[in-house]
Amino acid sequence: MTAGSARRARIDDGLTYLGLLAVLLFFGIPLLWILSLSLRTQEDILVTTVNPVPEDPTLGNYGEVLSSAQFPRFLFNSALLSAMGSIGAMIVAAPAAYAFSRMVFRGRKKLLVAVLALQMISPLVLAFPLYRYFSSLGLLDSIPVTGFVYIAILMPLATWMLKGFFDGIPTELDDAAMIDGATRWSAFRRVVLPVALPSLTAVFVISALLAWAEFVVPFILLSDPANLPISVGILNFQGNYATNATGILAAGSVLAIAPAILLFVVLQRYIVGAFVAGALKG
């Protein structure tokens, strides 16, 4: 490598790290500020406007949140809806992605683009008609019904991601299984799915994280506090506390984010491994 090439490589690396630092600051500073607010007393919040480090940090806000009878229920509802949405999306998306990856049929490309178009529609656009439709059917305030809506929202992205992963699996595996007498469904279930297990895990985790963070759908379809997930239920803390509502709301937000971060940390090797393997095959 010449001196000029080495210099350009160092410059490119420097620009890359600067870009990553900018992204880290963009997403990290708000999280750190919420964490700072969660450790402040009401007086500290009212007086301090710039200092990011609390002068007298306290865990009292977390104690207030954890002592609330509603908070565990909110977490359980979020976990339930996330599990329903992500598992349901995987059940629907995996066969659909396999069909897009392996089969040739009329309108295949247009249908694949249509699936992507569904993902590009914001839930805010569908909020009013979604509410009117389920209200007319008498299906509001139902966690199972809301879970089916989660499945519909998560399925397009899961299908696209799984299709890309299935494309990286050699078709010879399917052909060999069917030569041995397996049906297309048996080849998919017994051969392709075990090979794609890391990819399935990665898509499942991403779908679960998206479901955990979903706000618009439960805000529209659920109103009973006993049915609210944490993303919506946490707003109740703002009105339930007359003193230090900001600190308590920040503490609740930190506790709401913690399970999603923990899930990602525990399963990150599957996510990174699946995407690296897909990139190498690509």
In the chain, % of residues over pLDDT 70: 89
Nearest to 149 by CA among 207, 89, 213: 89
Split at pLDDT 50, 70, 90, the class of 282 is: very low
Burial class for 131, CB neighbours closer than 10 Å (0-12, 13-18, 19+):
middle
Average pLDDT, the chain: 83
Selected residue with higher pLDDT from 259 and 268? 259
**242 has a pLDDT exceeding 60:** no
- For tokens 């139902």, name the residue: 142
Lowest mean per-residue pLDDT among 5-9, 117-121, 139-143, 184-188: 5-9
Nearest to 245 by CA among 68, 79, 54: 68
Nearest to 146 by CA among 167, 166, 123, 169: 123
**104 has a pLDDT exceeding 70:** yes
- SS3 for 208? helix
Q: What is the pLDDT of residue 150?
A: 93
Contact 192, 209 (CB under 8 A): no
Q: Where is mean pLDDT largest: 28-32, 154-158, 231-235?
A: 154-158
Burial class for 40, CB neighbours closer than 10 Å (0-12, 13-18, 19+):
buried
Q: What is the pLDDT of residue 196?
A: 86
Mean pLDDT for 89-111 is: 88
Q: Residue 127 to residues 26, 47, 82, 135, 227: CA-CA distances in angstroms? A: 29, 39, 19, 12, 18
Mean pLDDT for 29-44 is: 83
Split at pLDDT 50, 70, 90, the class of 279 is: very low
Contact 119, 156 (CB under 8 A): yes
Domain ranges, ordered by start, for the chain: 69-233
Q: What is the pLDDT of residue 92?
A: 93
Contact 98, 188 (CB under 8 A): yes
Mean pLDDT for 142-161 is: 91
Within 13 Å and on the Cβ side, how many CA atoms surround 157?
Answer: 19
Q: What is the pLDDT of residue 182?
A: 82
Split at pLDDT 50, 70, 90, the class of 240 is: low
Q: Tokens representing 208?
A: 């679960």
Lowest mean per-residue pLDDT among 20-34, 38-52, 132-146: 38-52
Contact 61, 123 (CB under 8 A): no
The CATH topology of domain 69-233 is MetI-like fold (1.10.3720)
**120 has a pLDDT exceeding 70:** yes
Split at pLDDT 50, 70, 90, the class of 50 is: low
Q: What is the pLDDT of residue 3?
A: 64
Split at pLDDT 50, 70, 90, the class of 271 is: low
